[in-house]
Amino acid sequence: MSVNLFKLFNFCSFSRTNHLRLLLKPCPGSKFHQCLSTEIIKSEETNNEVVTNEEQTNDVGVPEPEKRVMRKKPYKFMLDSKSVEPSHTSIILFPGQGSQFVGMGHDMLDIPSVQKMFETAESILGYDLLELCLNGPSDELNETIHCQPAIYVTSLGAVEKLRVTHPGVVEACVGTAGFSVGELAALVFAGAFSFEAGLRLVKIRAEAMQKAAQHVPGGLMTIKFGPDARLSLACRAAVEWCISRGIDQEHAVCSIANHLFPHCKVIGGHEEALKFLEINAREFGIKLTKRLKVSGAFHTQLMRPAKKVFKEALFKTPFNELLIPCYSNVDAQVYRFEKQIHQKLPEQIYKAVKWEQVMCQIYRRPEDFQFPKTFECGPGNNLLSILKNCNFKAYQQAKSII
């Protein structure tokens, strides 16, 4: 599949007198957004010859690259004299675990490339992912080992749907980010690695996280609070409560797992810690608590055991140069080096998702500046709800694709 695509560059620097300046540089359509194809593209030295993915896999199911060359220079998202109105560009966001629902993916099955994605997923995962997405049961779909691959595939399938329903939007994308497992979809979309490689990483990540979750009972809980809330004290008190109940100090965990928007965060930790906060919420200025449909205390120290196996698989995964800016959950900064992906992506498993900070970075601009169109590609509309609370003007130009 060949599309007339362009390499678009960073838009973080603005002035009140100049429009957003982007360098438009033609690049081969077959090398951009490898979620389009289940084939691996060789380097230009082989005259762009297409070969099927028949590489040998190692014991964790990841293809062994023929040769690894670490980038010494940062990925460049340069500025140029050609002006492009921000309203003519787009931002694409990918949701995370908790957004899944039975029936997701149904409205994109008439797109051939999406059908191919699900066929490829079945061969990699060893089960019929499409059947699980369409018909459930919900308890099985909500399991970490199933919902993470399901969200990943349907999110990239939504990109293909976006191509059909909104021509030119994908090619006009100037930035991307994904929430938790959605960051892997964002990196694939940005060109970091292929659809197949990304799915293998998601599979390994999901299995490692579910194993860690089964070792210690835990969960996640959304909280809303006022300016007088004492969250740090609440978390410390919850930890002390766990220890008093005979829980090992290593497992007595309670901390912020997700920064969503002002006065709203997700707390993760041991099951006893979450129960403590639910009972004593008012004492700490917490106005509302709501449990999330996840099976573990993701993005907390209880997930640290999952880091090692994922990091090993990530290091063995072939990388490509990023073609558009992709923002990290760990520090809300754009990935500039392959080394940064190796470092931050495994850390993301047990560190807080700084989504509120990511939104601030992506949409930071002068008050009188226009915003790009935003598309949430994947199940649900959780990210658009967060965007509405972070930046209402940007939200007014946003739409969900599923």
134's CB contacts (< 8 A; 6+ apart) are 102, 103, 105, 106
Of 90, 99, 155, 180, the catalytic one is: 180
Query: Annotated catalytic, 99?
Result: no
CA pair distance 54, 122, nearest whole angstrom: 16
CA pair distance 113, 401, nearest whole angstrom: 16
- Under a CB-based contact definition with an 8 Å cutoff, are residues 274 and 267 in contact? yes
| Beta strand extents in 226-372 (DSSP E only) | 254-261, 264-270, 286-291
Closest by Cα among 342, 325, 343 to 334: 325
- Under a CB-based contact definition with an 8 Å cutoff, are residues 374 and 362 in contact? no
CA pair distance 39, 54, nearest whole angstrom: 10
Query: Annotated catalytic, 13?
Result: no
- Under a CB-based contact definition with an 8 Å cutoff, are residues 208 and 145 in contact? no
- The DSSP symbol for 50 reads E
Beta bridge partners of 288: 224
- Under a CB-based contact definition with an 8 Å cutoff, are residues 286 and 325 in contact? no
Of 155, 299, 328, 400, the catalytic one is: 299
Evaluate the CA torsion angle 225, 229, 233, 238 in order and state its sign: negative
Q: What positions carry a catalytic annotation?
A: 180, 299
